[in-house]
Every structure is written in structure tokens, then in C-alpha cells.
């Protein structure tokens, strides 16, 4: 299992519901995805980002990661918060996106139990971002073309710097 990049067509597909009776072991799936998310310093990772067409994602940090299967949004706050977002499938591409400050969500946990949770601030942003991955929607779809072009120019510069730094063994 490995991270797919922005050009992979699976990122534009709608994922299918996770079937707890017929699909892979949910705990194994979450356990295999978590190191990928944390290796790249992410706080969210959707199954399509590792090439799997399931309605499932992880959110959180190494101390408390949460696996969400067949997630839904029950309600969102009217208040939008604008903030910078990145995506593990788009390394170095950062965009300013408006997201709800609060999201009430329903999902099935990795033990097959239905959950209802309220997420706020960065976790609401993350939940919405990952949920959109399951519908083939990318954060790059949420900005104007010119904004995206400018961000991609910054991304190229950023990746060149990282590449040069890596060639020098991480030294500045």
C-alpha cells in the first residue's frame, strides 16, 4: 500500500460503501494506512489516496487516530472558517479553503459500531476534506484557476528546494 499522487484517476472516482462482511479487515486497513499518514505528517488520509475504492478515511494524530467507515455529514455550522489546506496526494500544494467551523458526523468505527461525533475547527476541516475524497472531489476544485496556477508555481519552487536539500543529505 502506498500513497497515490494527484494524477491517479482513483482520486476522481466516487468510492463504494465499505462492507464489513465482505471487504478487508477494517482494523488491518486502518493499521496499514496510519503509518503512511504519519510518515508524511498528515492528519487525514482517505482510502482512495492509497489506491483503495472504499468509503473510509483516517483522521487525527499518532496519539489519537480515528477510522471512519461510510462517513456522512448530519449537519454543518453556518460559520465558515478560511484556512490553509494541503493534501498528501498533492505534496507542497497549499490552498486557502473555506470550511464549516463545526460538523456533526455519522460513521461506523473499525469495530462496526455506529458513531455520531461533532468535529470543530481543524478536525471539522479535515473531516470535510477527507469526505470529499470519497466523492471524487479535490480541494483544488474549490479555488479559482488563477489561484491554483499561482499555488502550483509556489509548489514547484518548494519541491525544488526539498529535492536539493535531500540531495545534500538534509543539510541547509
Active site residues: 130
Distance separating alpha carbons of residues 144 and 95, to the nearest angstrom: 10
Neighbours of 112 (CB within 10 A): 10
How do beta strands 44-46 and 56-61 pair? Answer: antiparallel
Closest CA to 51 of 159, 133, 142: 133
Distance separating alpha carbons of residues 149 and 41, to the nearest angstrom: 25
Amino acid at each position: 500500500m502506498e500513497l497515490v499522487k494527484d494524477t491517479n484517476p482513483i482520486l476522481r472516482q466516487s468510492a463504494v460503501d465499505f462492507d464489513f462482511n465482505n471487504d478487508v479487515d477494517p482494523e488491518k486497513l486502518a493499521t496499514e494506512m496510519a503509518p503512511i499518514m504519519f510518515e508524511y505528517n498528515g492528519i487525514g488520509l482517505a482510502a482512495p489516496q492509497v489506491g483503495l475504492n472504499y468509503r473510509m478515511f483516517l483522521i487525527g494524530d499518532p496519539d489519537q487516530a480515528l477510522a471512519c467507515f461510510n462517513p456522512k455529514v448530519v449537519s454543518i455550522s453556518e460559520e465558515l472558517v478560511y484556512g490553509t489546506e494541503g493534501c498528501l496526494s498533492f505534496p507542497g500544494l497549499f490552498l486557502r479553503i473555506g470550511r464549516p467551523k463545526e460538523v456533526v458526523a455519522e460513521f461506523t468505527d473499525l469495530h462496526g459500531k455506529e458513531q455520531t461525533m461533532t468535529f470543530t475547527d481543524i478536525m471539522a476541516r479535515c473531516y470535510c476534506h477527507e469526505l470529499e475524497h470519497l466523492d471524487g472531489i479535490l480541494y483544488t476544485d474549490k479555488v479559482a484557476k488563477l489561484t491554483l496556477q499561482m499555488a502550483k508555481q509556489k509548489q514547484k519552487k518548494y519541491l525544488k528546494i526539498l529535492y536539493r536539500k535531500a540531495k545534500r543529505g538534509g543539510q541547509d
